[in-house]
Structure 1
Amino acid sequence: MNELLTSFLDSLGLAWWVEVTTDSPRCVYYFGPFPNSKAAKESQAGYVEDLEQESAQNIVVKVKRCKPKNLTIYDDVADQSSRKLSGILSSQF
């Protein structure tokens, strides 16, 4: 029953999602859908822990109602630019 409600809410764009943004890699991840914000908040720690184990940097978490088109958005151009800049800066020291 809960899955049916969640699917219905998701189809209307009213389900809750955990949005996780990282700077390295430069990504936005969506985890969900959840029937309410409480369920989403209870799940967010596990997602953050997984990303920390993968050495993600500057992790920002938001719980919100949305309907993401993609569950992972990777900004490879910005990620490559920041890596090049980091390499340039580190070679100056």
Structure 2
Amino acid sequence: MMTTLLSFLADLSNHLGLAWWVEIKTLSPICTYFFGPFLIRKEAEAALFGYVEDLEAEQAQNIVAHIQRCHPPHLTICNEMEYSC
């Protein structure tokens, strides 16, 4: 029940543009990844290391991460030089 409520709240905050997202850009491959939505920034901060670690394990290079409020149009955007929420 609590998980369902938290999921609903995360979806609602995302719809309103208030959710926190982890945005990770890599230069090899050239991709932007979005992970979320999170209700609070601390949740996103806690998850950040795991996402970076997974990308490093997949041989991604030049990884830059940001935590921000946004509503990404796609969760993964590749072969584009620049994109941000």
**Shared topology, TM-score over 0.5?**
yes
Equivalence for 2:58: 54
Equivalence for 2:47: 43
Structure 1 residue 42: Cα displacement? 0.3
Size of the alignment, in residue pairs?
A: 77
Higher share of residues assigned helix:
1
Equivalence for 1:89: none
Identical counterparts, % of pairs: 51
Instruction: List gaps (5 residues or longer) in structure 2.
Output: none
Structure 1 segments of 4 or more deviating over 3 A? Answer: none
Structure 1 residue 28: Cα displacement? 0.2
Equivalence for 1:12: 16
Instruction: Tell me the alpha carbon deviations over residues 24-58 of structure 1, each in whole angstroms, 9 at most, x when there is no partner.
Output: 00000000000011000000111000000011000
Q: State the Cα RMSD in Å.
A: 1.1
Structure 1 residue 75: Cα displacement? 1.0
Q: State the alpha-carbon separation in 2 of the partners of residues 70 and 9 from structure 1.
A: 17
Equivalence for 1:63: 67
DSSP 3-state at the match of 2:29:
coil
AA in 2 matched with 1:4: F
AA in 2 matched with 1:36: I
Larger radius of gyration: 1
TM-score by length of 2: 0.86
TM-score by length of 1: 0.79
Q: State the alpha-carbon separation in 2 of the partners of residues 20 and 75 from structure 1.
A: 14
Instruction: List gaps (5 residues or longer) in structure 1.
Output: 79-93
Q: State the alpha-carbon separation in 1 of the partners of residues 58 and 6 from structure 2.
A: 31
DSSP 3-state at the match of 1:14:
coil
